[in-house]
Amino acid sequence: MREFDYTKLLNLNLPVDIYGLISLIYEFKGKQELYVANFSDVLEKMVEVAKIQSTKSSNAIEGILTSNSRLEDLMMKKTEPKNRNEEELYGYRAVLDFVHESYEYIEFNINDILTLHNRMYSFSNVNHKGKFKKFDNEIIEKDAYGNKRIIFQPVSSLETKVYMVSFIEAYQRAVKLEIPPLLLIPTVIHDFLCIHPFSDGNGRLSRVLTLLLLYKYGFFAGKYLSLEMLIEESKEDYYRELNASSKGWIENKNDILPFIKYMLSIIYKAYKECDDRFKLISEKNISSSERVMKVFEKTLEPLSKSDLVILCPEISKRTIERALKELQDTDKIQKIGQARATRYIKRKGR
């Protein structure tokens, strides 16, 4: 049986790059706290955009999708869910709101984990919400031809509650012993995924729990920029490092470092992107078109209007539209595609 002992994290032989990531995260954390004190008005929009992106990306990782227009209407509560996918998107947004608003009062214990799972399915008519799995499940990988193979066998349904109790108790001991949170959180989330305690929703709930634990330790990068979006963008790396750290898990022989490094890289990227955006926001003498142009100068990828709304949270959608027209008129960017496929890209040589 797996033994949960997070004191082992104190004796990990950490490579230099992990020390470097931890140091940079704490540096950005301190800088973010200063920005938050000075730009509270802009931050409200960043929080809202991050919630929408998190809802979209966390569900997209699991193949739960809807159109951008439907997602926007759902998130703005202009419409009701019309199918199972939209019910789950709506539920994910509800549980995100709950964590954002009440993280200080949500405990990392069995009752609250079950409550979060129940909230995640609060708009879905399913029997398994808020309940541990009743049947065994498997982590399956499909290749390009549709062939399936089992890549991990989680804890059996009969053992799930026993494992969860032991897992939670180990976490609570680690908190009292002040185990470094940036080592503890990825390890705890990895263990949760290996237990796989629910019939459905384990991946999505793991990302909700990641936010919860980060918030409890004062790491708020995921509040202003979607961690789920960054995970979706590096989904292949996510699954590769998750699998790498799962080998030998049940026998207590697994190497947790690959998953720790991956999650630290995601947290670092979120802080770095937040910092870049805060720097631009703090440039008071910059025009809207100059602000938008700075975004184009940082990427080689075509950007949609929706992308720019996310990347320029301090600028209204209408102002962004005017900036795009000005940049096109001055031949600094070019428009590609039509209608919903419209994107913009910096002109070469500019």
Q: What is the pLDDT of residues 120-149, one digit of tens each?
A: 999 999 999 999 999 999 887 766 676 777
Residue 323 domain-assigned (yes or no): yes
Choose the final residue of a domain: 260, 281, 302. 281
- 273 and 303, same domain (yes or no): no
Mean pLDDT for 20-27 is: 97
pLDDT for 350: 60
- 53 and 177, same domain (yes or no): yes
Residue 333 domain-assigned (yes or no): yes
Q: Evaluate if residue 288 carries a pLDDT over 70.
A: yes
- 93 and 174, same domain (yes or no): yes
- 190 and 321, same domain (yes or no): no
pLDDT for 143: 63
pLDDT-above-70 percentage for the chain = 98
Q: How many domains does the chain have?
A: 2
Place of tokens 């428009």: 335
Angstrom distances, CA of residue 240 to CA of 29, 87, 243, 320:
28, 29, 5, 38
pLDDT for 328: 93
Residue 22 domain-assigned (yes or no): yes
CB-based contacts of 216, cutoff 8 Å, min separation 6 = 103, 104, 108
Phi, psi (degrees; rounded to nearest 5) at 52:
-65, -45
- 271 and 299, same domain (yes or no): no
Choose the final residue of a domain: 281, 296, 319. 281
Choose the final residue of a domain: 281, 301, 316. 281
pLDDT in tens, 55-85: 999 999 999 999 888 998 899 889 999 999 9
- 196 and 341, same domain (yes or no): no
- Among 17-21, 232-236, 278-282, the range scoring the smallest mean pLDDT is 278-282
Mean pLDDT for 165-191 is: 98
pLDDT for 284: 67
This prediction's pTM: 0.89
Residue 147 domain-assigned (yes or no): yes
Residue 1 domain-assigned (yes or no): no
- 152 and 218, same domain (yes or no): yes
CB-based contacts of 256, cutoff 8 Å, min separation 6 = 12, 186, 187, 190, 245
At 80, list the tokens: 């009701």
CATH code of residue 298 = 1.10.10.10
- 244 and 301, same domain (yes or no): no
Residue 336 domain-assigned (yes or no): yes
pLDDT for 173: 97
- 175 and 160, same domain (yes or no): yes
- 38 and 151, same domain (yes or no): yes
Looking at per-residue pLDDT, the higher value among 225 and 36 belongs to 225
Q: Range of 296's domain?
A: 288-346
For residues 66 and 89, is the Cβ–Cβ distance under 8 A?
Answer: yes
Q: Of 344, 257, 334, whose CA–CA distance to 305 is shortest? A: 344
- 26 and 105, same domain (yes or no): yes
